[in-house]
Amino acid sequence: KGTGNMELRLDRRIAERRVYPAIDVNASSTRHEELLFQRNQLNQVWKLRRVLNGLAGDDGNSGAAGLELLIDRLKTFNDNDEFLAEIAKGPNLG
């Protein structure tokens, strides 16, 4: 019997900046993420997480700027596959 666990963390500091959904991407995760994606997609998701983590920095930044960028960029693509393919092309968020 398998279980599906997903932990979604919200961040008050992001919500205070009026960025919704106020998801703390780095603290949110799911077990067995590798079962949800093809291998190349999984690598792209990990790359995206690294980029977002870098945007959050160690200076107390909540990650709101990275999340805002992510939300804005997602709106320009038709689906997740298209977005992840763009992530694979370069070091930024498409």
Helix and strand numbers (H, E) in the chain are 4, 2
Number of independent structural domains in the chain: 1
Residue-range definition of the domain harbouring residue 49: 6-89
| Residue 94: inside a domain | no
| Residue 65: inside a domain | yes
Predicted confidence (pLDDT) at residue 58 exceeds the cutoff of 60 = no
Q: How far apart are the C-alpha atoms of 74 and 25, rounded to whole Å?
A: 14
Predicted confidence (pLDDT) at residue 72 exceeds the cutoff of 90 = yes
Q: Rounded to the nearest 10 degrees, how much is the dihedral formed by the CA atoms of 85, 58, 72, 13?
A: 140
Query: How far from each other are the two terminal CA atoms of the chain, in whole angstroms?
Result: 39
- Which pTM value belongs to this model? 0.76
| Residue 32: inside a domain | yes
| Residue 50: inside a domain | yes
How far out from the chain centre does Cα 36 lie?
Answer: 15
Predicted confidence (pLDDT) at residue 10 exceeds the cutoff of 60 = yes
DSSP state of 23: B
